[in-house]
Structure formats: C-alpha cells, structure tokens
Amino acid sequence: MAQALLNRQITFMRNLPRLIDRAFTLGYEVTGGELYRDQQCPCGSKASKHHDRLAIVLNLFLDGEYLTDAESHRELGEWWEGMGGKWGGRSGDPNRYEWP
C-alpha cells in the first residue's frame, strides 16, 4: 500500500470519531453503514472512496426516524466539510462522508 494512501486512511480514522460525536451532539442517533467495499462488489462506482477505505455511510436517526434526505444531514455534512472532509449531500448521497 502506498504511504500516501495509508496516511489518508489514518487521518480519516482519526477524524471519524469526531464526526460521530458531532452527530450525537446535534441530537442524532447514528448507526454505521458501509465502510469498505470490495472491488468485486457490483454496486456503486468503481471509483468509490469505499474501495480505498476513505468513505463511510452514516445512518442518522432522530426520534427513531431514519433520515435519508440531504437537509437532515446538512449541518453535520457542512461541519465535516469544515474539518476537510467531503460530504455526499453535494452529489445526491447525503449519508456518505469521505476523506479526500
């Protein structure tokens, strides 16, 4: 594995707990979705950051309701962008959080 990719993966994992803590601080409940996607998986893009372990799907819940729309994720997504991450709400996948 290239050192640059490894460093990005480490940075992503360091920041991921902050993202999850932020979601809880904002009043959401969170479950984890897909983190790693094997190249053989027929779903998603072949260029997905999941292949590089640089993206995660976070499922947000508020009062037991599963939130799938971009507006529900906006505050958390914009906070993540402020941390240097990329939020999937800009491209139609609001529960995806990536590290560039």
The verdict on residue 42 lying in a domain is no
Long-range contacts of 26-29 (CB under 8 A, 24+ apart): 26/75, 26/76, 27/62, 28/60, 28/61, 28/62, 28/67, 28/76, 29/60, 29/61, 29/62
**Residue at 85 is within a domain:** yes
In a domain, 52, yes or no: no
What domain range is 25 assigned to? 7-37+62-100
Q: What's residue 6's pLDDT?
A: 94
User: Is 1 contained in some domain?
Assistant: no
pLDDT at 66: 96
Q: What is the pLDDT of residue 49?
A: 77
Q: Tell me the whole-structure pTM to 2 decimals.
A: 0.86
Tally of domains within the chain: 1
Instruction: Give start and end residues of each alpha helix (H) in the chain.
Output: 3-25, 70-82
Residue ranges, the chain, pLDDT below 70? 1, 35-48, 50
Which pLDDT belongs to residue 47? 63
33 lies in some domain: yes
Give pLDDT, residue 53. Answer: 85
Instruction: Please report the pLDDT score of residue 40 as a whole number.
Output: 58
For residue 34, the model assigns a pLDDT of 78
